Structures are given as structure tokens and as C-alpha cells.
Amino acid sequence: MIQKHLPQKRGMIPSPHLLFRKRTEMFTHFLLLFFLFFSTVTLAQNTRISGKVTDKKGVPIPGVNVKIKGSSAGSATDADGIYSLNASRGGSSLVFSFVGYTSKEVPINGRTTIDVQLDEETTSLNEVVVVGYGTQQKKDLTGAVSVVKAADIQKRQATTVAEAMQGLATGVNIRGGGQPGSEANILIRGLKNLSGTNPLYVIDGLISTANRDFNPNDIESIQILKDASAAAIYGSRAANGVIIITTKKGKEGPMRIDFSGKSSLQTIPTYNLAGTDEFARLNNMAYDNAGVSRQKLDLTTNTDWQKEAFRTGSVNDYNLTFSGGSKDGSYLVSANYFGNKGTVISTKFDRYSLRVNTSGTKGIFRIGENIAISNSRSDEMSGNPIIDVVRLLPTIPVYNKANPGGYGYGDEAKARTFGTNPVAIADLEDRTNENLRIRGNLFSELQFLPYLKYRLNLGYETSSDHYSYLRKQGNWTLNQAFDPAIANENRATSSTQLIENTLSFNKVFKKHSLNIVAGQSYQKDEYAQINGTKRNLLVNPTGGYFNVLDQGNEPQTGGFKTRSDLISYFGRFEYNYDDRYLLNGVVRRDGTSRFGFGNQWGSYPSVSGAWKISNEKFFNSSWINDLKVRASYGTLGSSNIGPYDYIPLVNTFSTIAMGRDQHIESGATQVQLANTNLHWEKLIQQNYGFDASFLNHKLSLTAEYFIARTEDVLFGFPIAMTTGNDGGNPRVNGITLGNKGFEFTATYREDAGDFKYYATANLTTLNNNVISLGYNRNNTYVGNTVTQVGQPVGMWYVLQTDGIFQNADEVNSYKNAKGVTIQPNAKPGDIRFKDNNGDGQITNSDKVVVGSPWPNYEIGLNLGASYKGFDFSMNWFGAFGATVFNGPRSVMDRFDDNSNYRAGIQPWTPDNPNTNVPRAYYGTTLNSRGDTDRWLENGSFMRLKFVSIAYNIPKAIVNKIGFANAQISVSGQNLLTFTKYTGLDPEFLNASIFEKGYDYGAFPNVRMYSMGLQFGF
């Protein structure tokens, strides 16, 4: 017998956003009709049950859908809240549901009269949250999960999902983007391991990455699993958190066509640099002070290198979606073009993508697929123009026919700099990176009992990558070595295969509700690459070169492949007693091929619970609507390393010349060391939180406190160079890190009336702390940072400056306790350094810890309002308390080596002693050394990440032209920044964990001005 059952909840319940926006009468009527349709399909049987449905205050609710669980038999309440229906023998309970109220399930227990009271539901807490191999209602969550609204992401103009999520979720720090096709970096709840890896992405059940190939317009919902108990079902690799993305599905009804288009202009922030006059004055001063004869500067040239290298970029993003379905099936087809002309010359990114999501049901059987195909191509940046525009002098012309290749650059007599001409390198080096990716899954489900479901999920992702590089003949910097024209191509294929079997059991016994998932999964990742290079390419008479590998000579080829396998077993139970006590438990066991025999398996259990205080009888508050407290404790594993890192390998590439004939012989040796005993990294996390809503649900609060400890972190911990190791520090387990943090979110929402508004504020504090370091060290030094036990990672460790010597007396009287003159060779105008160890000289031992690169707290502010057809929204993000190193300023403000100077800089002179810039002196790095606090700055900032105004064209007008809805919008990104930081962008990304706060000339966030149009019919 084929049993009818309720359609999947996921499809039924509209997202809260929609609820909030469109809870119109029409919609209610539609639902009513829908339910009535169901209620007419009655079974031929049996006992008649009737009753009355009221709200908490006893007021009858009409239109409530009443159904016998597990069957299609049902009815609805009339105007007085009265219902009656025929109950089949098999039916054990009735389900009452009505929009705006929490559904209730009531056991029949042989009764014929059942009166029911329904509770009003809160909009935000009624969301369905995808938690991995299943869903939960947000109100039933026991762990830390953030939900990001797809609409908020889709409002913004971003290449990747990550970039679009900035500031939208507490405890989720996202940096990066800006360059065409660049990826952003995500840190969830701080630095939990040192590999700086991104969280795990799960897209429609496929373990993947939502990289630039993924079209953010396809997103239906995003949830971020932040604590161990929430992420535990994903076991290994979930240690950095999990981002679950569900893509859009077709909804029941006739075909719907939706179009959205956005066009943006992008501008890059720029430096304020000296022009030729100012440059010449300062440069001559530096040479004069050093007693070196001046350069013969070309004063007739005044090149603004920023104008040459940067331009106004643009983004165009068009998306067209066709969707629809019946109650037995649904489909969605979406096509997207995303094009970004970069703000740096000769950079761009283009993406074409197509998605097809379908599903169908017959009886107990359901089958579906989600597949996306995308082709992305980026024209990549060569060199680093962010630094090059500073390194080049304004007296250098862009073009110079006398140079090979025809471009201007440094000159020994006139412009001594090794800066790279960004126009030249953009032309002479061509790098493109293109890939075709297919990503999707096929699933089928058997609901062979109302409470028992089997699901098979087959996932597959493959990418075919093509990188090509063309080096044209010509130079971009002074004294460059000769290179012939070179072509290099690199082709690779990657694939991920996933097989998952899950069984889920879902049943309510009186006040007990039990949900159990058990499953098994197998994943295989493979990658293979071949590459080839040819030199001395044939010149094409029509211009350029024949850049195919057929031409040229001195061929070189290479290639490699990797594979890794992961086998997992997992289970979860969710127990709910009377909607008051919630208990969840998860266990996952993973086996990976990335470790050696004996270390491959790890088991990760976690448990979490919540108490809904507001559902207790004793709880009676007129102003608190909901109150839930929760706690969790969980463990997670991580094996996020290369597939063969535990195996010591032999490098067989050495070749040597030998013998009278200088013939070539080969050599082989171990180059990179390895730790053979690598094993699972383990994250142990506790999370305590509460969720509450007040004032008739207008105000909601969530607060969480977490304590995380990552043990045996897998990391390439710096080892001594005396080991002779090369090729990167070998991975080792052996660092233990602690993270503690507090996350707080408050939302106030007013939905009544024409003027609706909301405000959400979130606050994140985070404190990381090294508990122990690899190889039992107490500290490790990287660049200008020290990482030591008991301290946060990567603290600034530099010499302290103490002003400028104003005269010879000050130099001579600067002595230590023993009377030794500390800087005897200093001259007035030189920097005075602190002799912190008191030994009478300035050495590396005078360095001290002077600041932390980590912000004390980060805040996000989301504001929105709507009035009639207008929607306004705005998002602010700020981070406070970080000390950062301004790398570009350490280039601009130095006089020892030639580069352009900061406009308006005032180096010390006897006539101008009131300055913090030491005297200009060409030829020694003493005053401009990089390891001092002179380059450290306050990195705090507050930024308007996003602001938008949209207008929904009134239905009356829209309908006339046959549309269902239409919206136009204008928006801006990164328009305002409040900061004391003098670099281009305080919100920069440095991928090195130890040097998070070092701005090496990172690509800045660009400003964006966008127009959008959206309509559906």
C-alpha cells in the first residue's frame, strides 16, 4: 500500500524572509485553498473526531489545517475554529498547522473530541535550518548555527559567496577579494589551526568549495555551523566550521521566470604620492645628506603610475532562472553570466554557469539531482602593482624606445630603482587561468515507513583546468637578465566522488520526539596535472608570437597526480521532550588515507542540549516571548594536509654535469623532511548560549560563549635551517591552541504598518592563545613576529623607536646605565631606538613584543527599512584593536633606496625638526629598517560595507506588462571607511598565519557602485 505523506517540510515552509515580506491576505487565501485541496482527499473510513482550535487567549482560529499524521486525510477549522474529520484506524495522532502558529501534533489515544491551543510562532525562530544529513527548526537548535539570508548575499555584487557574506554572521571573519576572480578567506571563530584553511563547504550534500566557479545567485539558503556539536556530523575537516549551502529548487506551480541583472563600477583606493617636483626635492635632499652626487633626474617627465596601472573596473552579473513544479516534481534551470573588468590594467574575470535542479516523487520513492556547469576564465595580474606604483619614480616615462620591449624603467644615471613598470609587465607577461567545472549530485530516497527513510546520495565534481603563460621578449625593470619568449601551459583535472547512504528515523511518542540519522559515506579526491614549456617562440608576422607548444625549442614537461580517500560512519540522535528539553548527540568515525597505517581512524563524539524555559508552565512573562538556554560539548577531527605528507619522499630531479665531456648524470635524495607519525588534529569545543525574544518577538537576542581547544594541530611548524630541509616545513602535530570568544546578536524588528524596519547588531570578541608549540618549543619567530606559549599567535616583535635625535648633544648623552653611548654613530635627524636590554648598543636583543595583530572585537550592523515599495538596507562592519604593519609605507617613507615618496612627507632637517620622519639619507637602511615599530599602525576601522535602496514597482503597473514582480535598485559597497590606518585598506588579507597583520601591499577592497534590475513573470 502506498502511503501518502506530507510534502517535505523544506518545500512547504516559505523562508522567513518571504513570510515577513509577503504575508498578505492573498497568500493566506492561497494556502487555505491548498489545504482545502488536501482535506477533500479523504479516506473511506472511519471514526469521526472533532474539536475546537483556539489561540493562547482562547480566541478561535479559523482555517487551521488539521490532518491525520501519515495520511492525506484532513480538514480545516471553520470560522468558529471548529473542525471535524474521519480518522482511519492506523492514524495515531493529529497534526494542526496554520501559518503564523507553531504546528502541533496531538496523539488521538481513542478520543473523539480533541481541543487544541496553538502557539503563535515567531518569524525568526521558525526557520528551517539545514544541519547536515537533515534539517532542524531553528528554535530546536542546541548548537551554534548562523543563518545567512540568501537575499542579503544576492543584493551584493561579489564574485564568491564568501566575499558576499562579509559582516553578515557573527563570529565569521572574511577577508579578501577585490581582484577579478580572487577568492576570499574565511575564519570561523578565530584561528583554530595554523594552516589557515577555509571551512568545509557542503553544497546540496556535496562536499565541495563554493569558489569562484559557484554562482551565488543560485543560493536558497546558507547556514554556518560554528561549534563542534553542530559541525560534528561532518567529522573530519569540519574543524574550521561548516558552511552548508542549499541551492534553489522549483516550487509548485506554473513556470516562473526570474531575471536579475546588476551592473557595477569599481574603483580602487590609491596612495597620495609625490609628483616630480616634490620627488626631486626630496631625492636630492637624500643624496645631499649622504654626500652622494645627485641623480640626473629627468624633470620633464611626471608620470602618475597609479593612473597608468589602475582604472575604473566594472562588473556585470546577469541571471535568468526558470522554475516550476507540481506536487510530484519540481525543476529549476538557471543561467548566469558574471564578468568583471579589474581595477588593474589587463585583469579580468568571466564566468558562465548553468544549473539544473530537478526532483520527482512517486509513492515512497523520490529522486532528484542538482547539477551545475561553469566555465571561468581569469586574466591574472602580473607583478604586484600595489607596490610597483610606489617603487617607480615619477621621473620615469611609461614608454622608452631605447629599452628592449619599449617600456620605461629604472636607469643607473637618472632613476636608480629596480621597481617594475606595471604597464610593461602587464603587456609582457600574460597569465590566464580557465576552468570548466561540473558539480552535482544525484539522490534518491525511499520513505518505506512514515518514520523511516533511506537516502542514497551520489556526488560528483570535476574540474578541467587550463593555465597558460606567455612571456614576451622585453624588459620591465633595470638590468633585467635576458629572457627569450617563453610559453608555458598547464592542464589539470580534479575530481571528487562521493557515495553516501543514510537512514533516518523520525517519530513522536506522546511528549517524546525522536529523530535518528545513521549513515556511511565514502569520498575519493583525485588530481592530475601535466605541464609543458617551450622557449624561443616563433614570432608571428601579424604580431605577437605563436604561443602554442608546437613552436619554440628547449622543451620541458612535467606532471603529477594525487589521490586521497575518506571513509566515514556517522550517527545522530535528536531527542525532544515536550518541546522543553532538547538533547542531541552525534558521533562520527573517519578513516583517511592521508595518514600512515595505525593513524588513519579517528572518532569524534559530541553532545548538546537545550532547555526552552519559556515553554515551562511556571514561566509566565508578558514581555519575554521565548527563552532558550543551550550548551554543547563536542570534538572534531582534521586531516587537512596533503595526501602524502606523512611519507618521506625522494626527489629524483637533480641533474649534474660530470666528466671530460660534461655529460649529464642524474641524482636523487631526500629534500623535504617528513614526520611519519602524523595523526588527526583534534578540536574540542564547548559552547554556551541563549536565545530569547521579547516585546512580542520584536526584539530577539542571541548570545554565545565558546571555549575551543585545538590539539595536535597539523602545521608546517618552522624548523631549524640546520636540518637542511627545503620545500616547506614538514607537517607536524604538536601545537595546541586555545580560542575563547563571545558572540552577541540583537535584532529589533517592527513589521506593523507601512513603515517596517529592522536593526541587527552583532559583536564578536575573540582571544587566541598558544597552549603549546611544536617540537616542545617555547616560541617561534617568523618575520617581525613572535609566537610564544601563553600568548596569541604572531605578536609584533620589533625594535622600539623613541623619537628623533635633534642635535649632537642628544646623541652623546644617550647612554645606558654604565655610561656607554648607545648610538655613537647617529647624527641629528636619525632615529633613537630603545636599548631595552641596557647593553649599550642596539641589536636584535632589544626587540620586544609591542602589539597584537588580532582585533579585540568586531562588530556588524545591519539596518533595513521599507516603506510601501521602497526598501533600504545598509551593512556596517568594524574591527577594533588590531595593530598592523604598513608595508607599503615602509617603502614610501624610506629614503635609503629609491622609490616614490608619500606626498607631503616632512623628513627631519635642522630647519624642520618637528616631525616624526627621520632625516632623508640615501644609501643605508639604518633609518628605514623594517623591524621597528615605526611601521606599526592602529588597524581599527569601521566600514560601510553595503548600502542599497530598492524600489518595488507597484503590482498594478507590473501586472499590466505581464510581470509578477519587478524591482530596481541602486547600491554601493565599501563606500565609507573610518580608520586611522594610512595604508590603502585596513581590511586586508595576509595568508600567513604568523603575519596576519602584515600588509605587504595586499590588494585592497574596491569601492563599488551598482545598479540592479530584477523581475519575474
Please report, as residue ranges, which positions from 763 to 822 form the binding site for another protein (by CB under 8 A): 775, 777-782, 786
- Using CB under 8 A as the binding rule, whether residue 849 contacts another protein is answered as no
Residues in the chain: 1017
Residue 319 cell numbers, joined: 541571471
Peptide bond into 46 cis (omega under 30): yes
Question: What SS3 state is found at 424?
Answer: helix
Q: According to CB under 8 A, which one of 591, 864, 881, 913 is a site residue for another protein?
A: 591
Is residue 650 a contact point for another protein (CB under 8 A)? yes
Q: Residues 546-575 vs another protein: string with x where CB under 8 A?
A: --------x-x-x-xxxxxx-x--------
Least distance (Å) between residue 727 CB and another protein: 7
Please identify, using beta-carbon distances, which residue of 453 and 709 lies nearer to another protein. Answer: 453
Q: Which is nearer to another protein, 79 or 413 (CB)?
A: 413
For residues 100 and 532, which CB has a smaller minimum distance to another protein in the complex? 532
CA distances from 491 to 435, 464, 469, 562, 730 (A): 9, 7, 12, 14, 27
| Binding letters toward another protein, positions 426-455, x by CB under 8 A | --------------------x-xx----x-
Q: Give whichever of 498 and 786 is closer to another protein, judged by the CB atom.
A: 786
Residues of this chain, 676-705, that bind another protein according to CB under 8 A: none
CA-CA distances (angstroms) from residue 747 to 425, 467, 701, 864, 946?
50, 47, 6, 11, 18
Nearer to another protein, 302 or 593 (CB): 593
CB of 238 to another protein, least distance (A): 19
State which residue, 730 or 855, has the beta carbon closest to another protein.
730
Give the binding range for another protein (CB under 8 A) out of 461-469, 645-653, 955-963, 971-979: 645-653
Pairing assessment for the beta strands 313-326 and 219-225 based on DSSP bridges: unpaired
Q: State the Cα–Cα distance between residues 769 and 793, nearest whole angstrom.
A: 7
Determine which residue in the list 272, 326, 603, 654 makes contact with another protein, applying CB under 8 A: 654
CA-to-CA distance for 423 and 347, rounded, in angstroms?
A: 12
- Which of 514, 613, 673, 942 is in the footprint of another protein by CB under 8 A? 673
77 or 898, CB closer to another protein? 898
603 counts as binding another protein under rule CB under 8 A:
no
Based on the shown chain and the rule CB under 8 A, indicate whether residue 648 belongs to the binding site for another protein.
yes
Q: Which residues pair with 47 in a beta bridge?
A: 87
Segment 378 to 437, residues that bind another protein, using CB under 8 A: 410, 412, 416-418
Tell the smallest beta-carbon distance from residue 486 to another protein (Å): 9
Q: Which stretch binds another protein (CB under 8 A): 119-127, 269-277, 587-595, 989-997?
A: 587-595
Whichever of 657 and 752 has its CB closer to another protein, that residue is 657
Q: Return the residue of 255, 658, 957, 976 that touches another protein, per CB under 8 A.
A: 658
Spell out the residues 6+ positions from residue 95 whose beta carbon is closer than 8 angstroms to its own.
6, 66, 67, 68, 69, 103, 104, 105, 106
Tell me the window of 45-53, 96-104, 180-188, 666-674 that interacts with another protein (CB under 8 A): 666-674
Shortest distance in whole angstroms from residue 981 CB to another protein: 24
Whichever of 762 and 780 has its CB closer to another protein, that residue is: 780
Per CB under 8 A, the segment of 251-259, 327-335, 648-656, 688-696 that binds another protein is 648-656
- Among the candidate windows 170-178, 186-194, 723-731, 863-871, which touches another protein by CB under 8 A? 723-731
SS (H, E, C) 113-179: ECCEECCECCCHHHCEEECCCCEEEHHHCCCCEEEECHHHHHHCCCCCHHHHCCCCCCCEEEEECCC
Q: Measured from the CB of residue 130, what is the shortest distance to another protein in angstroms?
A: 24
Q: Which of residues 934-993 bind another protein (CB under 8 A)?
A: none
| CA 491 – CA 532 distance, rounded (Å) | 9
Tell me the C-alpha distance between 906 and 240, whole Å.
46
DSSP 189: S
Select from 24, 59, 541, 597 the one that contacts another protein (CB under 8 A). 597
Site string for another protein, 728-757 (x = CB under 8 A): -xx-x-------------------------
Return the range that interacts with another protein (CB under 8 A); candidates 75-83, 100-108, 589-597, 621-629.
589-597
Q: Which is nearer to another protein, 555 or 803 (CB)?
A: 555
- Are 198 and 211 contacting, i.e. CB atoms less than 8 angstroms apart? no
- What is the distance between the alpha carbons of residues 294 and 1009, in angstroms, rounded to a whole number? 46
Among 7, 253, 727, 728, binds another protein (CB under 8 A): 727
Q: Do 863 and 178 meet the contact criterion of CB atoms below 8 Å apart?
A: no
Residue 914 CA to residue 906 CA, distance in Å, equals: 9
Q: Taking CB under 8 A as the rule, does residue 843 contact another protein?
A: yes
- CB contact set of 28 (below 8 Å; sequence gap of 6+): 63, 99
Residues 6+ apart with CB under 8 A from 598: none
Q: Which is nearer to another protein, 113 or 670 (CB)?
A: 670
Question: Residue 2 interacts with another protein (CB under 8 A)?
Answer: no
820-834 burial code (b ≥16 CB/10 A, e <16)? eebbeebebbbbbbb
- Residues ≥6 apart with Cβ < 8 Å to 730: 645, 672, 673, 674, 675, 716, 719
Among 312, 326, 621, 652, binds another protein (CB under 8 A): 652
The three grid cell numbers given for residue 267, joined into one nine-digit string: 574603483
Residue 422 in contact with residue 416, Cβ under 8 Å?
Answer: no
- Is residue 726 part of the contact set for another protein (CB under 8 A)? yes
Give the one residue of 724, 753, 819, 904 binding another protein; rule: CB under 8 A.
724
- Residue from 385, 353, 309, 383 nearest 218 by CA: 353
CB within 8 A of 29, min separation 6: which ones? none
We find the least distance from the C-beta atom of residue 1002 to another protein, in angstroms, to be 21
* Contact between 647 and another protein per CB under 8 A: yes
Cβ distance to another protein smaller for residue 417 or 979: 417
Among the listed residues 113, 312, 501, 856, the single contact to another protein using CB under 8 A: 501
CA distance 47 to 91: 10
**Comparison of 431 and 698: residue with beta carbon closer to another protein:** 431
Q: Which of residues 897-936 bind another protein (CB under 8 A)?
A: 897-898, 923-926, 929-931
Min separation Cβ 821 and another protein, Å: 15
- Cell triple for 817: 646605565
Q: Which of 657, 752, 817, 956 binds another protein (CB under 8 A)?
A: 657
Pick 16 or 394: Cβ nearer another protein: 394
* Shortest Å, Cβ 527 to another protein: 11
Least distance in angstroms from the C-beta of 684 to another protein = 25
Q: How many residues bind another protein (CB under 8 A)?
A: 99
C-alpha cell, 631? 550548551
Residues numbered 326 to 385 that lie near another protein (CB under 8 A) are none
Question: CA 597, 734, 192 angle in degrees (round to 5)?
Answer: 105
In whole angstroms, give the CA distance from residue 631 to residue 142: 7
Instruction: Report if residue 296 touches another protein, rule: CB under 8 A.
Output: no
- Residue number with CB closer to another protein (663 or 960): 663
Give 868's contacts (C-beta < 8 A, 6+ positions apart): 754
Alpha-carbon distance of 50 to 111, in angstroms, equals: 9
